[in-house]
């Protein structure tokens, strides 16, 4: 009793390439065939690994969220204070080379808002992931309510500024606003 062994890593390998493709070509018109052609495999290879179109989309946005967290938020909780964490977060998220990734992020975000049942996992974590890290950065002595309020404001401001930057490309103006926000975070007890 034997047979070819199951390749447990194949799905993850394909997923990386699929996410790359999606970052570049967009999320709204994603279909099996063009993706498969770009990866040099058949459509059924993808279907075999991901099950269905909906499961593919869920896998994509799950991996996208992971990537962004790894690249921009992984070490946020280890910063000494909220202002430093916020500055690190903004510097990383506003880096030009991350723009395509965040455009996809907001495309997914918007779609999830209109299909909350399908993408519930994304909406659950999209704020909570950062909230936990930014609360942690404020230390255990901070009043929880205050910590949550500050963290909420930091997440919102960074994402709002990022929306502006990605839409207008006006980096000077947005960076100027970001600096004033970060400076205000650093100077008073906020």
Partner DNA sequence: CTATTCTTTACACAGTCGTACCAGAAATAG
Partner DNA sequence: CTATTTCTGGTACGACTGTGTAAAGAATAG
Contact residues for a copy of itself (CB under 8 A)?
26-28, 103-104, 106-115, 123, 126-128, 145, 148-150, 152-153, 155-161, 163-164, 166-168, 173-174, 176-177, 180-181, 184, 190
Tokens read off for 14: 């394909």
Taking CB within 5 to 8 Å according to partner kind, which of DNA, a copy of itself, none is near residue 171? none
| 42 or 110: CB nearest a copy of itself | 110
Angle in degrees, CA 55, 155, 190, rounded to 5: 165
Which of the listed partners (DNA, a copy of itself, none) does 4 bind, with a CB threshold of 5 to 8 Å by partner kind? DNA
Question: Is 138 in contact with 147 (CB distance < 8 Å)?
Answer: yes
3-state secondary structure of 147: helix
Residue 133 tokens, joined: 């890290």
Cα–Cα dist 62/125, whole Å: 10
Which residues in this chain contact DNA in the complex, by CB under 7 A? Answer: 1-7, 10, 29-34, 40-45, 47-49, 52-54
Task: State in angstroms the smallest separation of the CB of 141 from DNA.
Answer: 51
Rounded Cα–Cα distance for residues 125 and 60 (Å): 15
22 exposed, middle or buried (CB, 10 Å; 0-12, 13-18, 19+)?
Answer: buried
Q: Least Å distance between CB 177 and a copy of itself?
A: 4
Looking at beta carbons only, is 14 or 174 nearer to DNA? Answer: 14
- Least distance (Å) from DNA to the CB of residue 26? 12
**Through-space distance between the first and last CA atoms of the chain, rounded to whole angstroms:** 68
Smallest gap from residue 25 Cβ to DNA (A): 11
Least distance to DNA from the beta carbon of 67, Å? 22
Q: Residue 2 or residue 145: which is nearer to DNA going by CB? A: 2
What the block records as the tokens of 22 is: 């999606």
145 binds, among a copy of itself, DNA, none (CB under 5 to 8 A by kind): a copy of itself
Q: Are 87 and 182 in contact (CB under 8 A)?
A: yes
């Amino acid at each position: 009793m034997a047979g070819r062994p199951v390749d447990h890593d194949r799905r993850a390998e394909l997923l990386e390439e699929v996410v790359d493709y999606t970052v570049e070509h967009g999320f709204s018109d994603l279909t099996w065939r063009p993706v498969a052609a770009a990866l040099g495999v058949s459509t059924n290879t993808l279907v075999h690994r991901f099950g269905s179109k909906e499961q593919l989309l869920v896998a994509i946005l799950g991996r996208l969220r992971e990537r962004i967290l790894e690249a921009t938020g992984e070490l946020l909780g280890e910063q000494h204070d909220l202002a430093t964490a916020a500055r690190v977060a903004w510097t990383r998220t506003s880096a030009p080379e991350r723009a395509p990734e965040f455009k996809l992020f907001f495309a997914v975000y918007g779609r999830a808002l209109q299909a909350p049942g399908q993408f519930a996992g994304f909406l659950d974590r999209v704020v909570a992931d950062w909230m936990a890290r930014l609360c942690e950065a404020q230390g255990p002595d901070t009043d929880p309510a205050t910590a949550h309020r500050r963290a909420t404001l930091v997440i919102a401001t960074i994402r709002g500024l990022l929306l502006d930057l990605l839409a207008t490309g006006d980096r000077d103006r947005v960076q100027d606003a970001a600096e004033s926000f970060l400076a205000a975070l650093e100077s008073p007890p906020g």
